[in-house]
Amino acid sequence: MKVGVLTGGGDCPGLNAVIRSVVRKGIQEYGFEFVGLRDGWLGALRGTVVPLGIPEVRGILPRGGTILGSSRTNPFKHEDGVRRIQDTLTAHEVDALVVIGGEDTLGVATQLSRQGISLVGVPKTIDNDVSGTDYTFGFDTAVGIATEAIDRLHTTAESHMRTLVVEVMGRHSGWIALQAGVAGGANVILVPERPFDIDQVCAWVKSRFRINYAPIVVAAEGAVPKEGQMILKDRTLDEFGHVRLSGIGEWLAQEIEERTGTDARTTVLGHIQRGGTPSAFDRWLATRFGLHAVDAVNDGDFGMMVALRGTEIVRVPLADATAHTKLVDPSLYDEFQVFFG
């Protein structure tokens, strides 16, 4: 059997660990052959297919990014997209695909699977918002980076007795903001799932100053004020209809300064959260996902996604996993209210 592997969407730490484990087990245990499709669905459309054997995956386990490249290409936005992908697979005699991606890439995989393409999905994203799995790899690394940044910002905030606002990634879901905010001892955590009241944020900031602490406000990029709109970096839509976010941190710092008469600064962590070495947990999870994905291919169990449930790796239908985004539950968010202010 010849298997194609692709990585789509925003990159995330651990992608290479999946590729390595898929290829190692596939060749060593099942005698499969592999090829890589470059830059996600773009390579499938263009027929950009590269060799993928043991030499190509040697030494990549701890490396961030993806050796196969990635893009936010949506084949359904390209003329004859599905036919072109089928042609690529036929031309290179690819029998099945392992598709490593987040909600968009796996959403495409779900539709292609319905159209008869044999594939297995592997969930990735630093945002941790893919349904059907307790965690995606990449998230643990991003939370670790954001937490370290918050730890560092505490000391400079205290030296100047000013507010530091930290903007983290998370377009629709506040998993990074919540987990890093709690781990880093933030006084205010703002997530997209819970529109915030700016007066309440300022009241928390003031109460922090009153007890002689410098406030740390952690905001997901998709956090929105109750009265107002999401702040966009620019209005251009990508092929999945997403705008580019960022700006909520700067907006918050300005509002805090104006409304409280105290000093505030912003740090936008941006792609630092996605780059570089994956954490040990992400390498472990990515490796396990890869091993189980190649098992699913060997079993002919297509249209499925590997997922983490507790400590077990299970298979779930791609259609279920991509039906909705996994959001922060309001009751989970409320657990931490005691630390706000």
- 274 counts as binding ligand F6P under rule CB under 6 A: yes
- 245 counts as binding ligand F6P under rule CB under 6 A: yes
Four-CA torsion 239, 241, 245, 251, nearest 10 degrees: 150
Nearer of residues 116 and 241 to ligand F6P, judged by Cβ: 241
Q: Which of 13, 40, 75, 170 binds ligand F6P (CB under 6 A)?
A: 170
Q: Would you please indicate which residues are annotated as catalytic (active-site) residues?
A: 127
- 171 counts as binding ligand F6P under rule CB under 6 A: yes
Query: How many chain residues touch ligand F6P (CB under 6 A)?
Result: 12
Q: Which of 10, 43, 184, 192 binds ligand F6P (CB under 6 A)?
A: 10
In DSSP terms, 120 is beta-bridged to 98, 304
Nearer of residues 26 and 102 to ligand F6P, judged by Cβ: 102
- 126 counts as binding ligand F6P under rule CB under 6 A: yes
Residue 210 near residue 181, CB atoms below 8 Å: no
User: Which residue's Cβ has the minimum distance to ligand F6P?
Assistant: 169
Four-CA torsion 79, 83, 85, 86, nearest 10 degrees: 180
- 117 counts as binding ligand F6P under rule CB under 6 A: no
Q: How far is the CB of 74 from ligand F6P (least distance, A)?
A: 13
Nearer of residues 21 and 125 to ligand F6P, judged by Cβ: 125
Amino acid, res. 315: R
Closest to 312 measured CA to CA, from 291, 327, 330, 333: 291
Q: Which stretch, 51-59, 62-70, 123-131, 292-300, contacts ligand F6P (CB under 6 A)?
A: 123-131
Q: Which stretch, 58-66, 165-173, 199-207, 277-285, contacts ligand F6P (CB under 6 A)?
A: 165-173
Which residue blocks in 72-138 are alpha helix, DSSP H? 81-91, 103-114
Q: Order of strands across the sheet with 2-7?
A: 49-51, 33-37, 2-7, 96-101, 119-123, 304-309, 312-317
Nearer of residues 274 and 315 to ligand F6P, judged by Cβ: 274
Q: How far apart are CA 240 and CA 68, in angstroms?
A: 21
Residue 30 near residue 299, CB atoms below 8 Å: no
7 phi/psi in degrees, rounded to 5:
-120, 125
Which residue has 């983490």 as its token pair?
308
Q: Which of 15, 45, 122, 169 binds ligand F6P (CB under 6 A)?
A: 169
- The residues binding ligand F6P (CB under 6 A) are 10, 102, 125-127, 169-171, 221, 244-245, 274
